[in-house]
A and B are shown apart, each in its own frame.
Chain A
Amino acid sequence: MPSPVNGTVSAGTVSPMLGEAWRLDGSVALRPEPFGALAYHFGTRRLSFLKTPELVDLVRNLASGTVRDALVASGVPEPHWPAYTRALEGLAAGGMITRRETP
């Protein structure tokens, strides 16, 4: 499937992120749009496009539990998990989401 976030390409590997805890960075705001949402980082002035509503839910649901928990809570079908974790990795690389210590 096409990547739900810009600039990333999905690959069918299992991400080590699944068992980790992440959250939306404190400097990032989400703005809902018909396609999903804009994510803006006030510190780096970077804008990213979350291209599906599921990805928006996923990013919001990161606040509690592991990435795996958030995927389940967001209703993302398991075959699509690699594409979504790949999207999260892209957001992590841009500082849009940051690691939490405990799930």
Chain B
Amino acid sequence: MTESLIWWSIAIYLLVAIGIAILSRQSPAKGGSESMSGYFLGNRQMNGFVSALSYSATTYSAFMMVGLAGLTYAGGVGALGFEIIYFAGVSLVAVFGPKFWAVGKRFGFVTPSEMLGHRYNSKHVAMAVSIASCIFLIPYSAVQLAGVGYLLQGITDGAITFTTGVVLATVIAIFFSYIAGIRSVMWTDSLQAIMMIVASTLVAFLVIQGLGGFGALFDTLATEHPQSLTVPGPGLFSFVTFLGLTIPWFFFSLSNPQVSQRLFMPSSLRSMRQMLLGFLVFGFIYTIVSVLWGFSALAAFPSLESADLATPTLLASEFVPPVLGVIVMIGIMAAAVSTIDSIMLTLASMVSRDVYANVKPNVSEKRQLLVGKFVVPVIALMALAFAELQLDLIAVLSVAASSGLVAMVPAIIGAFYWKRGTAAGALASVVGTSAFVLLMYATGNSLLGLPAGVWGIVVASVLFVGVSLVTKPHQATTDAFFTAIAEELEKKAVA
């Protein structure tokens, strides 16, 4: 494919996406985006279909098509198992979703950290969760940007450089969040998700046809790379590594604020159900397709120098018509953008709502929103700087982020299921676990032979329960929180 084809395609994509973003704006009469919940939550009026597509686009980033295909290429079928366990973890939405939604509605929460701060009656909890989220999610965004960089560079043979790709994605992400906040982000996400699922499935189909069909592909793998069809397989997925990768991702739907914040947005529980089920169907197809890409690359190009090149090599191969290759490439770039812009918005809402407004009391909503809008590009530029450092295997770094975010999980579960949980417990768990995970990664990520991904949830749970038991819960806010859930959900059941 030629460089001009690529640039023209990017231009067309931008034109369509910007059009959609502008159309997504809501008139001030309907709530508009002039308030915190308007800008960051779409006024809690998002419908199920857009929510499902956007949830998928936010979750599945460049990591899927570049990272998961690469992980399959390097480590075999274990990559599928890893993703399926993550996928099963999204079922947590079926349990926690309605509860998040109910308290969000009752108390007007904008961020998950605000919810925790309220539940445990502690500003410090809200601040700690927000700051820890920034520490882990900014590198995670950087991973997405780097994904775009590798992809464009790989597929154009260096005609578009790594840096050009990274800067391009950053600028687009900032732009999409600025047009109408979460609404423009969700609508452009939806465009990306639809385009991507169609194009990537088509690519998998064409490539597998080119390799002689599904049976022939798996026969080739069985004879030439038999280990790629089993675990531990070629060595990447020892059971301990598998545990370390999967445990944090299992809790992704709770631990990552850019997706847990989505639980505040659906207009009804019916919409939430559509969001969950839509995501699951989408995610399943996407997962299988990405894994098949990795397998196809392994069968067709067994001696690539880096596993991250599996996807670009496949897209540039003779199996894929150039136009389709370009569409998927743009789709992958858009996938990275759709993940980053959601993360930027969520982090910005947390910084303004839970850090700024808590440090400086009595600031107006308007002022909070202004600060939030100012923070968006700051976060983007930090991610850009990280991406430029060009760290090695994409998937591994993004998993470091998940290990760290597991720090929030016991405090979140406790908020809904354990009245005895206290602010001190939540604070110790969040701060202690974050520090612990960072220390683990700084010192080789192995303690008694186990990685941070396994230890994180253990340390977080012990700290939360242990410290809670020796301190006293704030009875009034705890009771109000539990009563609100019961009342909101009962009201729904009767209506």
Q: Do A and B come from one complex?
A: no
Interface residues of A (CB under 8 A from B): none
Interface residues of B (CB under 8 A from A): none
